[in-house]
Amino acid sequence: MRTAKIVRNTTETKIHIEVNLDGTGSYDISTGIGFLDHMVEQFSRHSLIDVVMKVDGDLHIDQHHTTEDSAIALGQALAQAMGDKAGIGRYGNVYSPMDETLSRVALDISGRPFLVWRAGFSQEKLGEWDTELIEHWFHSVAQAAGITLHVELIYGQNNHHICESIYKGFARAMRSAVELDPRKGNAVPSTKGQLGG
């Protein structure tokens, strides 16, 4: 079973996360930020990665620590569940349409974290979530999981659609990247014999 559990407690947040890479897309998400819950639910459902995420954060200050720390813990859980990454597809590349919006997400589970972000929002909040934190969420996940991640909004107007299109694209790209390829057997998908470094 490619599963992991992360417990991360600081003075700013208390986090419990579980993932199953070979799941069915079931989820149990509670971060205290409704729109973030909705996006992590979309990630789980469309990646088929089961996710439990429970966060008790210092929302009386702002949403930054809850957003960042939950993303770090999710990235750590994904990395732990992948182990040595033997047999995975490694790459994912998805065009993600949602009504008038089209985004593209391409990623490589390379062990070399990097984010290229070419997207933006025309309003400051989605629900109660600060839209400036969305890029930061993806940066934190990529860093913690060791993912080279490229996110591009090709076009779109509705901010809800833009965000959801990106999360669904990330989910489908991750699904392709973490799925086991039977032709690879137990081989690590790198001529170096390992990923990262």
Indicate the domain borders of the chain: 3-178
pLDDT band at 174 (very low <50, low <70, confident <90, very high): very high
Measured distance CA(103)–CA(33) in Å, rounded: 24
How much is the pLDDT for 184? 76
pLDDT, the chain, mean: 95
pLDDT band at 64 (very low <50, low <70, confident <90, very high): very high
User: Which residues have CB under 8 Å from 45's CB, separation 6+?
Assistant: 25, 27, 171
The label of the residue with tokens 């991360």 reads 8
How much is the pLDDT for 194? 58
Which CATH architecture group holds 3-178?
A: 2-Layer Sandwich (3.30)
Which pair of tokens denotes residue 125? Answer: 């909040």
The string over 78-114, giving b where at least 16 C-beta atoms fall within 10 Å of a residue's C-beta and e elsewhere, is bbebbeebebbbbebebebebeebbbbbbbbbbbebe
How much is the pLDDT for 66? 98
Q: What is the pLDDT of residues 111-140, one digit of tens each?
A: 999 999 999 999 999 999 999 999 999 999
Beta bridge partners of 97: 102
Is residue 190 predicted with pLDDT exceeding 90? no
Is residue 195 predicted with pLDDT exceeding 70? no
